[in-house]
Amino acid sequence: MDCSKVGELILSLRKEKGMTQKQLADRMNISDKTISKWERGQGCPDVSLLRELSKVLEVNIEKILLGNLEPNDADKGNMKKIKFYVCPTCGNILTATGEGEVFCCGRKLAELVPKIEDETHRLNVEQIEDDFYITIDHEMSKTHFISFVACAAHDRMLLVKLYPEQAAEVRFPVMRKGQIYFYCNQHGLWAKE
């Protein structure tokens, strides 16, 4: 750990938050001299303080230890580049349009890679007026079910959460040139051909 890089990052983040050394120190129940020491690179935060420092500065602990916040490449937030993440512990569904580190329940989540639908995971899409009516012939038990269906076009994404023991069907407004995704809790993310 490079204490001077860590200190520069702490200084930058503190100023970004509009805080003085004293205000940061008070929030962490330490002395402002300690903050000054860190920012001058003459020492690094103790491991016992990293969690609170991360919380106050709203930065991942790993980034504090590296002393570096690298911005993502700008991709203009194109929804067609949507990435899905599902927490294996609590089932939270998270999405991102760019690179990032996504965590839930204390675990770093891997981006789900969609597979092209097959015989056991296939959507039936029917257009009814201005809507797509989507049905899925799939088990919907408490142990094996479709968790969500999403449709992503270049400027928007619609996601419908499904629950066990309900019908595996959704309606979406027609979105031209959109990609439809669906997630099976046992077999992962799928994409409509």
pTM value is 0.69
State the number of CA atoms in the 13 A half-sphere of 172 facing the CB.
Answer: 26
Per-residue pLDDT at 67:
82
What's the CATH code of the domain at 108? 2.60.40.730
- Give the separation between CA 93 and CA 147, rounded to whole angstroms: 9
Please tell me whether residues 50 and 139 are part of one structural domain. Answer: no
Instruction: Establish if 155 belongs to a structural domain.
Output: yes
Residues 34 and 104 in one domain: no
Q: Which residue has the tokens 């760019």?
A: 98
- Per run of 10 residues, the mean pLDDT along the chain (length 193 residues) is 88 92 93 93 91 89 80 60 92 88 88 93 92 93 95 89 94 87 95 87
**114 shares a domain with 39:** no
- Based on the domain organization, do 164 and 101 belong to the same domain? yes
Q: Tell me how far apart the alpha carbons of residues 97 and 57 are, in angstroms, rounded to a whole number.
A: 24
Q: Considering only CA atoms, which of 141, 137, 109, 111 is closest in space to residue 123?
A: 137
Residue 46: both structure tokens together: 């103790």
Beta-carbon count within 10 A of 141 CB: 9
Q: What would the 3-class secondary structure string for 124-191 be?
A: EEEEECCEEEEEECCCCCCCCCEEEEEEECCCCEEEEECCCCCCCEEEEECCCCCEEEEEECCCEEEE
CATH number at residue 47: 1.10.260.40
Matching residue, tokens 């690298």: 70
**Total tally of structural domains belonging to the chain:** 2
Structure tokens at 4: 């001077």
Q: What is the pLDDT of residue 127?
A: 92
CA 14-1-3 angle, to 5 degrees, is 45
pLDDT for the residue numbered 76: 54
Token digits of residue 131: 């809507």
The pLDDT score that the predictor gives to residue 60 is: 83
* Structure-token match 């920012």, residue found: 39
Does residue 23 lie in a domain region?
yes
Q: Tell me what pLDDT residue 45 has.
A: 92
Q: Which of 66, 91, 115 is the last residue of a domain?
A: 66
**Can you give the residue range of the structural domain that contains 135?**
79-191
Query: Do 139 and 45 have their domain in common?
Result: no
26 secondary structure, DSSP code: H
End-to-end alpha carbon distance in the chain = 48
